[in-house]
Structure 1
Amino acid sequence: MTAASPVTASTSDVVWEAGRRRTFAVISHPDAGKSTLTEALALHAKVISEAGAVHGKAGRRGVVSDWMEMERSRGISITSAALQFSYGDSVINLLDTPGHADFSEDTYRVLSAVDCAVMLLDAAKGLEPQTLKLFDVCRHRGIPVITFINKWDRPGMDALRLCDELVERIGLQPMPLTWPVGDAGHFRGVVDRRDGNFIRYSRTAGGATAAGEERLDPSAAAEAEGAEWSRAVEEADLLAETGGEFDLDRFLEASATPVLFGSAVLNFGVRHLLDLLVELAPRPAPRLDVKDRPRPLESPFSAFVFKVQTGMDPSHRDQVAFARVCSGMFERGMVVTNSTTGKPFATKYVQQVFGRERTTLDSAFPGDVIGLVNATSLRVGDTLYADKPAVRYPGLPSFAPAHFAVARPADLSRAKQFRKGVDQLESEGVIQILRSLRRGDGAPVFAAVGPMQFEVATHRMDAEFKSPVRLEPLPYSVVRRLADPKQRSIVDGGTRSEVLTRTDGVDLALFIDATAMGVMRRLNPEILLEPLVASTD
């Protein structure tokens, strides 16, 4: 954990403190090893003494970033997690993201709060569908990407082939900073491309502690590894000659990616990645407000909320709003303004987060992620600021839902808990809630990007709010925005369509299929149906 910063700070202090921050996310396809890598990074920073494992493998405890019961039982991340810790003179804000496509909305919001991303690839699978989608988000937001090719201790693809995939499938030039000695499954160590030396790793019991490293000069490496060393050097040189030499500007403009090889579960190559992040990851920079004006780092405090979470402390069931500090110095107890509502918000209870563990935080600087406790008035996308001038940052999107189900309380005597739970899940963005006069408040419609969101919602309703729910799937597969509310009765009167209203006031026209929508349009050419674009209201 980082030590508390001074209570007051000058303009130069704020800029200096911001320069110490490295705020990044780990992204990948499910099962590529994100949570394991997050754990290994914390181990190498010496903030934990022993690395856990997904599913508690080899008798090891669970990972700190996967704290929900469903995450531990399934071995996948279903919600983003924040970890803050010190490493040398730097302060690390690490955000672990869910890899499953059904939780892409959560991942997108996390990526709005970081300055860099680590793209994790499974050595045996390379670029997978969800990895491609997440990289597209990074490209769209201009987020520089460092690539870590994981699981090199297991059989996998050829190293050159993996690098070719980066060029062919996403147009990203690989710039290897390490290169594996030995094929996937026969991992001996890596060539450090910066000095030409060989880093040889040694295993520890179950990979629970930091792997040993031995550094050999090229002649000693050639003697120790023979043909494997020569082949590794030749392959790395070949890639460098074809545009793969490291170029900092290309990395920062997100047109090329540094590449490292390793094994998160064995802690091979993880320290190298952590050092690289401290050295290369962009420092916090002025963030653009809704009018595309950059807000200087030294301006009065401002932050935006990118995530809301309950259930982190089962004994209190409090609500935590996660906010990225964008400018100025935050001091616990300061009263800030919520630009969405114009109302004041007191920050008496604010914490520094490390997975589920939390400690009281007295101050924070640009780049930090803070946890505002009992923040029931805050919503995802809200901007907080102190003093003038007022500021508002762009909102965060609501994705177009693809799955719909009516939710009803399984026990009518728990109706109050049912309503409270539904409101809470909606405020967190776990699920979108749609309503209509036709169905009434007692039968809201759950709308999800992917069906696993339904599982999370029903599990949490039962486990946290003691109000089990019954879901009745709806047959709709096509959704459009109804531009004119006066036309609601046209769509709502049919048997193959209906109109439901989202909390942000958007009317959604739902159709059983494209044919049903086509018939509706032919019979009513005046109807205004628009593609549903991501809303940031």
Structure 2
Amino acid sequence: MGTDIHPDGTSVPSAHARPDGRPDVEARRRRTFAVISHPDAGKSTLTEALALHAEVISAAGAVHGKGGRKGVTSDWMDMERERGISVTSAVLQFSYRDHVINLLDTPGHGDFSEDTYRVLAAVDAAVMLLDAARGLEPQTLKLFDVCRARGVPVLTFVNKWDRPGRDPLELVDEVEQRIGLRPMPITWPVGIAGDFHGLVERADGSMRRFTRAAHGASKAAEEILDPDRAAAEEGVDWERATEELELLGEIGADFDPEPFHAGTATPVMFGAALSNIGVARLLDALVDLAPPPTPRPSATGDRRPIDSPFSGLVFKVQASMDKSHRDRVAFVRICSGRFERGMVLTHDATGRPFATKYAQAMFGRDRSTIEEAYPGDIVGLVNATALRPGDTLWAEKPVTFPTIPSFAPEHFSVARVADASKTKQFRKGIEQLDSEGVIQVLSSDLRGDQAPVLAAVGPLQFEVVSARLSDEFSAPIKLERLDYTLARRTDAAGAEKLRGSVGIEVLTRRTDGELLALFPHKWRLQAVVQNQPGLTLEPLIAEGNVT
């Protein structure tokens, strides 16, 4: 048995596994999900509130540390705490109601979509967080497309109902009209957005009325009212809520698990994460309604049974989470079988053995050693220098899970070390960030290793690279922006024809050796395609139309 991290910082015996646990039985106790949203919808705040209600932290933080509160647990990087944004995903694993929760907080900013995309390859469900005033926003739509492509069921949580916002019927209608998910509200607000009285539980008609704690750092006290008392005390607000619920009943918006698990319908809940209102109900819904781990398809289309020998997918690599050790952690989603610390696995990409002496459960930056884990769990393997995102690990019976495609970069800069005496540290840092997938690193014979080209989905990635090279490797850099906006995959023949073309550059992607042709804009690309129709120029494909 391993250990968990108690709210007071001490280690306690783990409830994550039982003696002689069977993978299929233990998998039914797992819930592995991500929270996705547009920036500023309250994603990290919700993540923190969920941990608070599971009683694995003693006080919730705030994204900007307002009111004397600390920063959120999942935002552990200095840059995240300073700027109040999530720039990397984080894993919070904890026990709740005899279940093991693997909660993955994702970057909200669109510039870090690639990290979120990797996370969605490792989960069984997602919570789609909507701002009560803004509803569905561009980044939310993109991430939902990825969920749809991967068949990930989505539960919708309408956040910030304690602030002015839109009509609840309008919001649920928008979900159905814009993304084609049939809404199935489980709770419903009493009082308009900004004048929030409580929540109606559709299953029994009762109302939960909340009293907020100061700054939302602790749980909101709640009182349960039966329908008669709610009608007497809430008056016109209760009447409006019940009328809206009757309308929902007439259009068949009752909960049905089959379309939810099939990805064609979404349970809808309302609340306010910052005030910790409706969060406990959301956590219960995830345990009761979200699917447990199921057999995962391999690259050949076959599904790996849960009780097969161990297999796992590496979906994230992160270095320097512990500044005192400067180690590197590979995050592995267990797909089948029982994991035991110390077992020797096969690294599918190389065919070489991989030892698992240092295996840990993750809680933001904090860690605890585990002895065993089961399908659905996220395990951190320390000092896993050979592993990269998208790799498969297996025992006994070979399997290869689908790789995680890279996004098409749209921003390019040449990186040079600011101090020539730090060249060695610079090269080491670039290799590290490339292997983590923080940024795509391209190289060419013309520029050499002294000046790699960094390719990013969004410009904030360059800021992360600059900050990490400076902080972790003592190698500040200078960036020179390049006037390219498109990348296309080509081959050796295409590269030969394109070299020397005005406004086009051919580079090698360091990670996999692929050749990429960079273009300044789509018109230049169109001209090349028209003039040389036989040329190989393939888009970099990612699921869900997110490139």
- Partners of 2:182 and 2:265 within 8 A in 1: yes
- Partners of 1:25 and 1:116 within 8 A in 2: yes
Aligned to 2:143: 134
**CA distance, structure 1, for counterparts of residue 176 and residue 531 of structure 2:** 49
TM-aligned CA deviation for residue 521 of structure 1: 4.2
Aligned to 1:467: 475
TM-aligned CA deviation for residue 100 of structure 1: 1.0
Aligned to 1:67: 76
2:49 equivalent among 32, 37, 40: 40
TM-aligned CA deviation for residue 478 of structure 1: 2.5
**CA distance, structure 2, for counterparts of residue 6 and residue 201 of structure 1:** 35
Aligned to 2:502: 495
Structure 1 137/534 Cα, relative in aligned 2: closer, same or farther at 3 Å?
Answer: closer
**CA distance, structure 1, for counterparts of residue 182 and residue 502 of structure 2:** 52
2:188 equivalent among 179, 182, 191: 179
1:154 equivalent among 157, 163, 168: 163
**CA distance, structure 1, for counterparts of residue 534 and residue 319 of structure 2:** 45
- Partners of 2:16 and 2:95 within 8 A in 1: no
TM-aligned CA deviation for residue 527 of structure 1: 2.7
2:486 equivalent among 475, 478, 484: 478
Query: Is 1:327 aligned to residue 336 of structure 2?
Result: yes
- Partners of 1:289 and 1:394 within 8 A in 2: yes
Give matches, 1:116-131, under 5 Å. Answer: 116-131=125-140
**CA distance, structure 1, for counterparts of residue 350 and residue 120 of structure 2:** 25
Query: Is 1:432 aligned to residue 443 of structure 2?
Result: no
The superposition leaves residues 483-522 of structure 1 with CA deviations (integer Å, 9 ceiling, x where unpaired) of: x303323212123111001121211111222333344445
- The one-letter amino acid of 2:192's match is D
Aligned to 1:444: 452
**CA distance, structure 2, for counterparts of residue 514 and residue 398 of structure 1:** 20
Which segments of 5 or more consecutive residues in structure 2 lack a partner in the other structure?
Answer: 5-12
The superposition leaves residues 210-240 of structure 1 with CA deviations (integer Å, 9 ceiling, x where unpaired) of: 1111101100001110111011011122122
1:401 equivalent among 392, 409, 418: 409
- Partners of 1:404 and 1:476 within 8 A in 2: yes
**CA distance, structure 2, for counterparts of residue 526 and residue 286 of structure 1:** 42
- The one-letter amino acid of 1:498's match is E
Structure 1 302/522 Cα, relative in aligned 2: closer, same or farther at 3 Å?
Answer: closer
Aligned to 1:207: 216
The superposition leaves residues 55-80 of structure 1 with CA deviations (integer Å, 9 ceiling, x where unpaired) of: 11111111100001111111111100
**CA distance, structure 2, for counterparts of residue 147 and residue 462 of structure 1:** 39
TM-aligned CA deviation for residue 371 of structure 1: 0.3
Aligned to 1:165: 174
Structure 1 522/238 Cα, relative in aligned 2: closer, same or farther at 3 Å?
Answer: closer
Give matches, 1:75-474, under 5 Å. Answer: 75-387=84-396, 389-474=397-482
- Partners of 1:149 and 1:262 within 8 A in 2: yes
Query: Tell me, what secondary structure is at the counterpart of 1:30?
Result: coil
- Partners of 2:312 and 2:334 within 8 A in 1: yes
Query: Is 1:3 aligned to residue 14 of structure 2?
Result: yes
**CA distance, structure 2, for counterparts of residue 507 and residue 249 of structure 1:** 44
Structure 1 444/286 Cα, relative in aligned 2: closer, same or farther at 3 Å?
Answer: same
Structure 1 257/5 Cα, relative in aligned 2: closer, same or farther at 3 Å?
Answer: closer
Structure 1 84/171 Cα, relative in aligned 2: closer, same or farther at 3 Å?
Answer: same
- Partners of 2:15 and 2:95 within 8 A in 1: no
Query: Tell me, what secondary structure is at the counterpart of 1:244?
Result: coil
Aligned to 2:8: none
**CA distance, structure 2, for counterparts of residue 55 and residue 515 of structure 1:** 43
Aligned to 1:505: 513
- The one-letter amino acid of 1:440's match is G
- Partners of 1:407 and 1:471 within 8 A in 2: yes
**CA distance, structure 2, for counterparts of residue 174 and residue 511 of structure 1:** 43
TM-aligned CA deviation for residue 7 of structure 1: 8.6
TM-aligned CA deviation for residue 524 of structure 1: 4.0
TM-aligned CA deviation for residue 203 of structure 1: 1.1
TM-aligned CA deviation for residue 153 of structure 1: 0.5
**CA distance, structure 2, for counterparts of residue 203 and residue 222 of structure 1:** 22
Q: Mean alpha-carbon deviation: is it higher for 276-285 or for 472-481?
A: 472-481
TM-aligned CA deviation for residue 479 of structure 1: 2.0
TM-aligned CA deviation for residue 373 of structure 1: 0.4
Aligned to 2:58: 49
- Partners of 1:5 and 1:362 within 8 A in 2: no
Query: Tell me, what secondary structure is at the counterpart of 2:204?
Result: coil
**CA distance, structure 2, for counterparts of residue 158 and residue 530 of structure 1:** 45
Aligned to 2:9: none
- The one-letter amino acid of 2:426's match is F
Query: Tell me, what secondary structure is at the counterpart of 1:265?
Result: helix
**CA distance, structure 2, for counterparts of residue 512 and residue 127 of structure 1:** 32
TM-aligned CA deviation for residue 289 of structure 1: 1.0
The superposition leaves residues 375-404 of structure 1 with CA deviations (integer Å, 9 ceiling, x where unpaired) of: 1111111111112x2111111111111111
TM-aligned CA deviation for residue 146 of structure 1: 0.6
Which segments of 5 or more consecutive residues in structure 1 lack a partner in the other structure?
Answer: none
Number of equivalences: 531
**CA distance, structure 1, for counterparts of residue 150 and residue 53 of structure 2:** 29
TM-aligned CA deviation for residue 40 of structure 1: 0.5
